[in-house]
Structure 1
Amino acid sequence: MSKIRLALVGLGKIARDQHLPAIAADDRFELVAIVSRNADLEGVAHFTTLADLLASDVAVDAVSLCTPPQPRHPLAHLALAAGKHVMLEKPPGATLSEVEDLRLTAAARGLTLQTTWHSRYAQGVAPARAWLADKAIKAVRIDWREDVRVWHPGQTWIWEAGGLGVFDPGINALSIATAILPRPFFLTGAVLHVPENCQSPIQAELDFVDAAGAPVRAEFDFLQTGPQSWDIAVETDAGVLKLSHGGAKLFIDGELLHEGPDAEYAGLYDAFARLVADAASDVDVSPLRHVADAFLLGRRVVAPAFIE
């Protein structure tokens, strides 16, 4: 099989830290172009707009979109219209309607569309899902706390409408929860703390209940300093399962059972290559749907202004 000639759209922190190493390590891909208004990559064709790339003589099979979510829909639509497979960095769009439109467009053209949830490829997630499959869930606790100044320095888009604020990392927790819990869960209430100078929350508390009535509590915090916390604890009839370090470590009743290196984006690109080979798509919006529910149902309170 010939290599998938890939264009990377957006060359910010996540693209440099995660996408570029994953692409370089997977011999099924060849990075042939970068699209960015502000950055380029030595030895790779550079364009300032996706339209310029698609009008050029650079042959491209697929596009990986690493832009903020707000402008992503027209870019993805443009790539699909040009016959290119598309990978969408999370969150896959600013709205559910945008993603549904892209799903229908990709299906109509026989192209691959992938919504990516990198945290689902953390080392402990698959074994956690397998262990929980036949357990009775009693309660779930999600604590996702990190320092926005460390992980999103200078990224003002995250505070704008559609930027998600603390739900940008929080959606990673929801992507894991929707993958490992054996029953669906539904939002019953939420509190969103929105800085007076921002449009999106900096902290959030969410209460869910699963289909059998088990409570699911999630707390997201963008103001955590010192040690960062990315933990999910599930109390069951057979003991307590805990995923820590964003899913990299799996404990059962305090005993470490699984631990592995960070291979989340390698997992994403492996899945993308297999989808392209199979002429298939993977469009899962369940984590984004929970975020949308929080914005619909959540009570907003004014928080102090955020000054980076």
Structure 2
Amino acid sequence: MSIKSAPIRLSIVGVGKIVRDQHLPSIAKNADYQLIAAASRNGTVDGIDNFKSIEAMLEAVPSIEAVSLCMPPQFRYEAARTALDAGKHVFLEKPPGATLSEVADLEALAASKGLSLFASWHSRYAPAVEAAKAFLASTKINSVEVIWKEDVRHWHPNQDWIWAAGGLGVFDPGINALSIVTHIMPKPLFITAATLEFPENRDAPIAAAITFTDADKLPVTADFDWRQTGHQSWDIIAETEAGRMVLSEGGAKLSIDGKLVHDEPEQEYPALYARFAEIIKAGISDVDLAPLRHVADAFMLGRRKFVEAFVD
């Protein structure tokens, strides 16, 4: 007879749109968790204790076992260190931090304390991603094209932090594409060139054109743009010896030579929280920095091009 373990006593920090739309419903449906507290400067969660800061929350509710950090990446490092120093497991919304170095420091701290750190990449858990990975592993790839274009005014209205240094700009959605590409490609990619378009009044890019390759000189391109209105494009297209693969709608659908072969309902955030519970129970961390490393490389190698000012 198996004995069911008690639910993980979870708290959440940074109560904004993504938390209300994705995190809270996913947590509510997962029996592995009991949400007992939240901390946010502006938002609150009904039915639990709410605080203005993570420090106040951890002091008042010492029974918290894990913390989900959902504030902008520029502010995530200090909160993560605070949680880890208090002996809590930590879930990091994407991107896991503003820099590679700070996330590496958090990973080392978590390891030294025997705690679990989870760098979450929600797009990797889109329903057709694993099928795309299996298909690409089964054939020779001739080229790959990534098209990730959306309307920033629709998805991020009046969010100034995303345009600040460290906010990533168009790489905030673009890193979702990179998280899929780095997962499904059989061999590691590296950037060879990039052009980043910066509005003259912003510190983060509104568009990026990037070329990649791998050890076999595979041609790969990515086109990220935040100025697209109407239909939104989240597609990864691979020309292969087994046909043309299109992973569309952010990883939700997979087609081969125009035939839809995989289409299931989106369950990204429920899958993330299932994975977080899994690593906590296993006593391990899951911190893959490949998507963020590509963003850093794009800023390092990228040519800056200034374009007209952006007005929200």
What is the TM-score with the length of structure 2 in the denominator? 0.98
Matching of residues 87-236 of structure 1 within 5 Å: 87-236=91-240
Matches of 1:118 and 1:39, distance apart in 2: 22
User: For each residue in 1:50-101, what CA deviation from the matched residue of structure 2 results, as whole angstroms up to 9, or x when unmatched?
Assistant: 0001111452000000000001001001100000000000000000000000
Q: Which residue of 2 is the match for residue 77 of structure 1?
A: 81
Whether 1:64 aligns to 2:34 is: no
Matches of 1:288 and 1:211, distance apart in 2: 20
- Of 39, 43, 47, which aligns to 2:47? 43
- Which letter maps to 1:170? G
Whether 1:305 aligns to 2:309 is: yes
Secondary structure at the aligned position of 1:70 is classed as helix
Residues 57 and 144 from structure 1, CA distance in 2 versus in 1: closer, same or farther, beyond 3 angstroms?
closer
Q: Which residue of 2 is the match for residue 244 of structure 1?
A: 248
Post-superposition offset of 1:172: 0.2
- Of 276, 286, 295, which aligns to 2:290? 286
Which runs of 5 or more structure 2 residues have no equivalent in the other structure? none
- Which letter maps to 1:71? F
User: For each residue in 1:87-133, what CA deviation from the matched residue of structure 2 results, as whole angstroms up to 9, or x when unmatched?
Assistant: 00000000000000000000010000000000000010011111111
- Which letter maps to 1:117? W
Secondary structure at the aligned position of 1:246 is classed as coil
Matches of 2:103 and 2:262, distance apart in 1: 34
- Which letter maps to 1:222? W
User: For each residue in 1:167-214, what CA deviation from the matched residue of structure 2 results, as whole angstroms up to 9, or x when unmatched?
Assistant: 000000000000001011110100000001100000110001122111
Matches of 1:57 and 1:66, distance apart in 2: 19
* 150-159 or 53-62: bigger deviation: 53-62
Secondary structure at the aligned position of 1:34 is classed as strand
1:32 touches 1:58 (CA, 8 Å); kept in 2?
no
Which runs of 5 or more structure 1 residues have no equivalent in the other structure? none
What is the TM-score with the length of structure 1 in the denominator? 0.99
Q: Which residue of 1 is the match for residue 33 of structure 2?
A: 29
Post-superposition offset of 1:134: 2.9
Secondary structure at the aligned position of 1:192 is classed as strand
The alignment of Structure 1 onto Structure 2 pairs a total of residues equal to: 308
Whether 1:12 aligns to 2:12 is: no
